[in-house]
Structure 1
């Protein structure tokens, strides 16, 4: 994140100028007789429909019409303008071709509109929604070389369902259909709707698939509508099997043998009937599973845990999908294929084949990163990551990484506080719950036991050196695609300081002769810290579902030193602080909640909102929260009008600090709110308008942080910022540029915190002090 300089200002000014230029009329580029098509307007005339029903029908019909007019942004057509001003390229490549045909957009003309075709589309859609007597007329309004097509729809009365019939016969499949007819989506009194009929066929198919009817298809069901028996606009429906339904589709099938090809390679294995590999002599039988693994790469029990089908089971789609998903989630197979082959047609049995192609078990990846920030730091990072995906032949993943990073102050003081980090970590992830109790999961996701171990060496030259050790043991499991649990039974962090310089001690204790005030809070950064205890987080999200409105929630709880503190009777406030290995252990309770709501306005725009609330409370053996467990705000993923970790606590003014380096401002309580409007203006180019608000506070009074304690006046200490942004979405990478400015600064005098009256975009000094450019990867939330 950095403050906006003159060059950045010119870039954004140029972008704004381009949008302004594009507002010039595109019609001057049209040839004689051509008219620019600006879209269609639909009017629905019907006295029996409510205003909402008319609006819904009109919106649905509007989506059916073709072609769509040229894309627009804020009433302008910048892509059409780019197409018009770019000369016809001589070759189908180069910058000219890219500008005209990739960035630009060819004009959509009135001559491109087939009104008769659109009228047929409108009638057809209306009939599918129960308007069997729909009539459509069209007209055109033209002015200044622009034309709009008007469609007037008279849908007539909408036909309702008078009765739904499920004819009875003596077959097994009919008996299954009869058992679920009371849950039908088709209800008497509801409007006739082809989409509901399709959903009903899918509902019946889904039930039958879970009752053994593997070869059944929704196309085997026909829903007949009879409107001749009623004088009113009503239809009687008959739901039944088609006469030409194949016999194999009417019979439920059971599982005979389950055969696993654990190490399948198309180049090395001969194919048999149905594309199934030939079964070799190297077959192992394990709990009714037939496993072909000639090189003994896998333990048989991983397939027994993943596969739900047992011999003699009735086929069902749920277990079918669960088995496939669990095999995929093991993370060790590149391809997973499943086939069912009839083995006994008389008794309706088939064999289940699982054909698995393993991924390379080991991989090595080198990553490099360059970075710069607003504190004049420039640096880089190197990461070497190694992964083994089948360490003990049971799909156990062992990951190891070593890394090194350096941040050097360029253009800063001579005794700059450069930062050096060197570390290593390892994780063993076991695809099951390793515990003294039995854990059963019917989820499509394999539960995992994770063991982590890490170390980091951190040196801030001229200041201090820290050694950070951490380890954890816990479990991760998902109930379904929406709900995930992460429980660390034990999470341990040990921070050991080394080489604390006189310069840093001077900042802590103060130096009257040098005019440096004491800042005891800096001592917490270099204190020995021992933090241990359980942590738990729960995540719920439906953002992967194709819904208009989606939701994300993550809640976490961190309980450190609770049992040890209670058993030992620790009371730091009374001077009775307990130690382990001569290190005081931390005792606190912390929780955090992250709510996100996404509302899809249309196909190209979304409103995203977020609310975060968190609190940490030290007690027993601690009077303050460990520095590494406190909350921070500001930066590219938080309140973007303020630099990272420079805001708060409360109304405390960080400008009063006399240290020659930036000290991260932290708090025990956090509140943050964000809102963002996102719009797509071209395939990979998105724009955003956003507002952020929030702050952090302390639980207890700190004389060195006046105004930092949480109080009933906390709302007066909320910081507010707003801005605009560009997002370049290249699928594998989203590059984000957010330009923000503060609107409310909590450490100003109480009556002077809003800054609207001081906004001056024309002033270079104001822009330098207030405009913050955040460059980041990915969306902020």
Structure 2
């Protein structure tokens, strides 16, 4: 059957369609007295970053699609028209009465109410989220861009502040608006004016030691002579100087002591910027502190059972006996060294990364000897034995496959902060049949892995120096077994690895060097149809059949 439409009727339909969708500009959703911000632009930009200036604007037009208009606003308004807060509050009160009655009933029977309390909290959170963010349509769409003079004036102020913070000290911003049929076309008209450049950088500290330290790192400064003035760079330089001084013994130094004064010549656009490090109120100079002694308490609230000293560090242990030799490789700061904030925080991170302590707090006592401090490290052990289990269902190829995972940890196995971890798994999943596309079959797997990890590099040579220079070093030895039962074959895999792992100082990048990764793979059974398929592929030059021969695979790899 062929459908014919006369050209005249088609044209009439098209005109009606265009008239209908073109009316969807958003104006019909406005209340009395409201106007729609329809178009917006920024003009007059020459040197400033236009994208960053646009980020200062707090009210922008709705995104419009060709012909159909602002879809996001249409979705939001549709949702808002059907959003009944009174009904939500009523439903919330009814639910609270119902769940509280169940909780009271459980309490009368002396039964646990933890699950009901948790369920109540989750449900109330969903009610609160709905009241705060609206229904699905309101969360999916975007509110109508109703023109607001206050919002536009606020955007203007933000743009002016941005320009002044980036060297355009005489910049001006004007607002221009045009209205047509309750739709506003609005412009920000910018006159940047001259941009200021850093002509001279001056440092004032009143302390020759401080001056020498700061000047020695001048190449790392965010303030460069000849570059445009930028307040963001000043904030970054203030933070850099604070870290620099804290890393060189100035324990009590904060960025509150740093101020910047700017002077500029209107005629030349040159700017002189002074960096001033003020002195403390109670002293004529900033005190530098050294480590007088370091005490590491690993017993938490327990009364220490044992005290020992290693590499000038005093260790006090409770019922858990840890190796001072191993802990020593995780401490970056030392006796008689200058206080170093970065080393202190990295020491704390390294100790927590061992997965042996619940917390690690580091406090400093500076009251005993002037210029000297005692570092006190307090920690509490995690449970020696830890068991976790996971039960669930994975859906693969439309087949629900149950699975069960188990993990068991034994901490500080030999007293050297080692962790012995056993993991096991069992489960099934749906797999496509290799010899046919007509059905989905079941695959069954189980296996386990035993891993012994050390919080240091284990090497045939002396490696204390290497461990001290490396962030979060670990050595892991593991053996594992896996069995797979598919319709086409049954296979076993015995695996053994010896690897080194470490991180960069920021902790956002990990490295792994697998010295040895050995796999012994054996195919126990192969289905006859699948064997025929492998033979056919082999005749065509495909070597897939080799994967099902008993094999020994050994490799060395590096991952970053």
Distance of aligned partners of 1:334 and 1:98 in 2 relative to their CA distance in 1, 3 Å threshold: farther
Shift of 1:431: 1.0
Distance of aligned partners of 1:438 and 1:538 in 2 relative to their CA distance in 1, 3 Å threshold: farther
Distance 1:307 1:73 in 2: 60
Shift of 1:418: 4.1
Residue from 471, 479, 483 that aligns with 2:496: 471
Distance of aligned partners of 1:21 and 1:384 in 2 relative to their CA distance in 1, 3 Å threshold: farther
Structure 2's unaligned 5+ residue stretches are 1-19, 93-126
Shift of 1:307: 0.8
Residue 305 (str. 1) matches residue 326 (str. 2): no
Distance of aligned partners of 1:139 and 1:505 in 2 relative to their CA distance in 1, 3 Å threshold: closer
TM-score, length-normalised on structure 2?
Answer: 0.77
Aligned pairs for 1:761-776 (under 5 A) are none
Shift of 1:29: 1.5
Distance of aligned partners of 1:22 and 1:226 in 2 relative to their CA distance in 1, 3 Å threshold: same
Distance 1:108 1:246 in 2: 55
Partner of 1:350: 373
Partner of 2:420: 398
Shift of 1:243: 5.4
Residue 261 (str. 1) matches residue 297 (str. 2): yes
Aligned pairs for 1:417-428 (under 5 A) are 418-428=442-452
Residue 492 (str. 1) matches residue 515 (str. 2): no
Distance of aligned partners of 1:368 and 1:518 in 2 relative to their CA distance in 1, 3 Å threshold: farther
Q: Say which SS state the counterpart of residue 351 (structure 1) adopts.
A: strand
Distance of aligned partners of 1:524 and 1:201 in 2 relative to their CA distance in 1, 3 Å threshold: same
Q: Say which SS state the counterpart of residue 494 (structure 2) adopts.
A: strand
Shift of 1:246: 5.5
Note the aligned Cα RMSD (angstroms).
3.6
Shift of 1:221: 1.6
Shift of 1:306: 0.8
Residue from 457, 461, 471 that aligns with 1:437: 461
Q: Say which SS state the counterpart of residue 446 (structure 1) adopts.
A: strand
Distance 1:357 1:69 in 2: 56
Shift of 1:535: 1.3
TM-score, length-normalised on structure 1?
Answer: 0.56
Residue from 78, 83, 86 that aligns with 1:88: 83
Distance of aligned partners of 1:81 and 1:497 in 2 relative to their CA distance in 1, 3 Å threshold: same
Aligned pairs for 1:39-118 (under 5 A) are 40-44=40-44, 51=46, 53-54=47-48, 56=49, 58-67=50-59, 77-86=70-79, 87-89=82-84, 90=86, 91-92=88-89, 97-99=134-136, 102-111=139-148, 113-118=150-155
Conserved in 1, the CA contact under 8 Å of 2:247 and 2:339? yes
Q: Say which SS state the counterpart of residue 211 (structure 1) adopts.
A: coil
Conserved in 2, the CA contact under 8 Å of 1:509 and 1:519? no
Conserved in 2, the CA contact under 8 Å of 1:443 and 1:478? no
Conserved in 2, the CA contact under 8 Å of 1:450 and 1:473? yes
Aligned pairs for 1:23-38 (under 5 A) are 24-38=24-38
Shift of 1:136: 1.9
Distance 1:418 1:457 in 2: 14
Distance 1:102 1:149 in 2: 27
Conserved in 2, the CA contact under 8 Å of 1:40 and 1:62? no
Residue 128 (str. 1) matches residue 165 (str. 2): yes
Distance 2:31 2:440 in 1: 66
Distance of aligned partners of 1:509 and 1:115 in 2 relative to their CA distance in 1, 3 Å threshold: closer
Distance 1:338 1:293 in 2: 16
Aligned pairs for 1:699-714 (under 5 A) are none
Partner of 2:189: 152
Partner of 2:473: 447
Residue 330 (str. 1) matches residue 354 (str. 2): yes
Distance of aligned partners of 1:362 and 1:79 in 2 relative to their CA distance in 1, 3 Å threshold: farther
Shift of 1:321: 2.6
Shift of 1:528: 1.0
Distance 1:120 1:500 in 2: 75
Partner of 1:367: 390
Q: Which has the higher helix share?
A: 2
Structure 1's unaligned 5+ residue stretches are 1-19, 46-50, 270-278, 511-515, 540-781
Shift of 1:340: 1.9
Distance 1:27 1:145 in 2: 7
Distance of aligned partners of 1:98 and 1:254 in 2 relative to their CA distance in 1, 3 Å threshold: same
Shift of 1:313: 0.9
Aligned length: 491
CA deviations 1:500-545 (Å, max 9, x no partner) are: 45444444557xxxxx98998453233111112x411232xxxxxx
Conserved in 1, the CA contact under 8 Å of 2:396 and 2:431? no
Aligned pairs for 1:368-383 (under 5 A) are 368-374=391-397, 379-383=401-405
Shift of 1:197: 1.9
Distance of aligned partners of 1:152 and 1:203 in 2 relative to their CA distance in 1, 3 Å threshold: same
Distance of aligned partners of 1:444 and 1:117 in 2 relative to their CA distance in 1, 3 Å threshold: farther
Aligned pairs for 1:468-617 (under 5 A) are 468-480=493-505, 481=507, 484-509=510-535, 521=543, 523-532=545-554, 534-539=555-560
Distance 1:386 1:72 in 2: 56
The answer to which structure, 1 or 2, has the higher relative contact order (CA under 8 A, 6+ apart) is 2
Residue 234 (str. 1) matches residue 287 (str. 2): no
CA deviations 1:520-573 (Å, max 9, x no partner) are: 8453233111112x411232xxxxxxxxxxxxxxxxxxxxxxxxxxxxxxxxxx
Distance 1:506 1:182 in 2: 70
Residue from 199, 211, 221 that aligns with 2:258: 221
Distance 1:288 1:339 in 2: 18
CA deviations 1:179-224 (Å, max 9, x no partner) are: 3446543333222222222222223223222211121122212221
Larger radius of gyration: 2
Distance of aligned partners of 1:455 and 1:147 in 2 relative to their CA distance in 1, 3 Å threshold: same
CA deviations 1:389-411 (Å, max 9, x no partner) are: 43334332222122222346799
Residue 175 (str. 1) matches residue 212 (str. 2): yes
Distance of aligned partners of 1:142 and 1:294 in 2 relative to their CA distance in 1, 3 Å threshold: same
Q: Say which SS state the counterpart of residue 80 (structure 1) adopts.
A: helix
CA deviations 1:427-484 (Å, max 9, x no partner) are: 11111111102330456732111111111222234x4322221111121223444654
Shift of 1:325: 2.0
Distance 2:147 2:491 in 1: 71
Distance of aligned partners of 1:117 and 1:460 in 2 relative to their CA distance in 1, 3 Å threshold: closer
